[in-house]
Amino acid sequence: MALLPTEFADLEPYTDWVLATEPERYAKRLASTMPDMQKFYDAAFGRIEDAITYCDKFDLDDLPDDARALVHLMQSLIMVSFPVEVWKQPRVPDSGAAWADITHEPVV
């Protein structure tokens, strides 16, 4: 059963990144290998504008389930962008035990 809108069927192999909260996305990033994150990034990065255009048709408070899944997938893409583009590792370099808790998700 597809989680994403049919227009984004090419991203279905990455639905393990459809995670509703920042702590879930961060844990997934830390548990992932760089090759896995790179593969997800390469597949999804070129679809950002399409995803924004698609989701802009809906009110954020009333997203259909497939559009909500797409939003969460794009949030995960953002979560892996710095590790892929800059740090070349899942963790923030030189951050030690630093941690920030997100208290409100824009879309849950």
Rounded Cα distance between 11 and 22, Å, is 20
Residue 2's H or E segment, with its range, is none
- What is the distance between the alpha carbons of residues 97 and 70, in angstroms, rounded to a whole number? 31
DSSP state of 37: H
- pTM for this prediction: 0.84
Residue 89 confidence class, pLDDT cut points 50, 70, 90:
confident
pLDDT at residue 35, rounded to an integer:
96
90 burial type by CB count under 10 A (0-12 exposed, 13-18 middle, 19+ buried): buried
Written as one string, the DSSP assignment of 30-65 is HHS-HHHHHHHHHHHGGGHHHHHHHHTTS-GGG--H
Residues 39-43, mean pLDDT to the nearest whole number: 98
The overall average pLDDT reported for the chain is 89
